[in-house]
């Protein structure tokens, strides 16, 4: 696929902020501040290189731009909002712009995820309903699994019907810490 990028478009930026005791990486476009990929570093991926790899596999224009060197903390609206969220201002990330390639239903799932407020957890079944297709539970779960913008598109707020946490790309431990940070776990029936 050929890139339609203007030759002067800058590389994507990467900001790293500590959230719930783990490095959180956000890759964003400097011209509009839209987060293109985001997630936590893991033991298996300590530099969170998989974020850019996942983005580049489905977005040739992003791949053509590449990613500038990481900036620990960094300045600007993305880093500021992430630091505010980490500090307890849970709605600080709600207004951040995101952009990821989507299918019509995945787009509805991702928009529905953004309507699930911090401090609340919903089931995959409820998410399917919020996305407008109550019977499409597996498709809603697939939307969570293919979300490139973790935390800001909060797939960590989705749990199993039995109250168990279910999976999370960055580990169930991180998911549990995020839900505790947001105050969602005390009200959940946590079944392990």
For residues 14 and 30, is the Cβ–Cβ distance under 8 A? no
The answer to whether the pTM exceeds 0.85 is yes
Task: Sort residue 16 into left (φ over 0), alpha (ψ -120 to 50) or beta.
Answer: beta
d(Cα 118, Cα 157) in Å, to the nearest integer? 8
pLDDT tens, 107-151?
999 999 999 999 999 999 999 999 999 999 999 999 999 999 999
**Residue from 37, 118, 155, 179 carrying the catalytic annotation:** 155
The listed CATH number (1.10.10.10, 1.10.10.410, 3.40.50.300, 2.170.8.10) that belongs to domain 104-183: 1.10.10.10
Which residue's structure tokens are 């959230």?
19
155 catalytic per annotation: yes
d(Cα 77, Cα 53) in Å, to the nearest integer? 24
pLDDT for 1 equals 40
High-pLDDT (> 90) share of the chain, % = 82
Mean model confidence pLDDT for the chain: 90
pLDDT tens, 32-76?
999 999 999 999 999 999 999 999 999 999 999 999 976 666 778
d(Cα 22, Cα 110) in Å, to the nearest integer? 24
């Amino acid at each position: 696929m050929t890139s339609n990028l203007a030759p002067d478009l800058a590389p994507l930026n990467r900001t790293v902020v500590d959230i719930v005791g783990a490095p959180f990486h956000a890759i964003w476009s400097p011209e509009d501040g839209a987060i293109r990929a985001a997630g936590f570093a893991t033991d298996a991926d300590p530099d969170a290189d998989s974020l850019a790899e996942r983005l580049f596999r489905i977005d040739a224009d992003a791949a053509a731009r590449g990613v500038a060197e990481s900036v620990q903390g960094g300045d600007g609206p993305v880093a500021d909002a992430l630091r505010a969220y980490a500090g307890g201002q849970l709605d600080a990330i709600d207004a951040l712009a995101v952009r990821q390639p989507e299918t019509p239903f995945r787009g509805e799932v991702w928009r529905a995820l953004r309507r699930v407020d911090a401090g609340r957890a919903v089931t995959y079944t409820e998410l399917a309903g919020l996305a407008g297709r109550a019977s499409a539970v597996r498709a809603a779960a697939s939307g969570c699994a293919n979300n490139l913008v973790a935390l800001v598109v909060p797939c960590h707020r989705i749990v199993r019907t039995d109250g168990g946490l279910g999976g999370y790309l960055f580990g169930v431990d991180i998911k549990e810490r995020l839900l505790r940070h947001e105050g969602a776990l005390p009200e959940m029936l946590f079944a392990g």
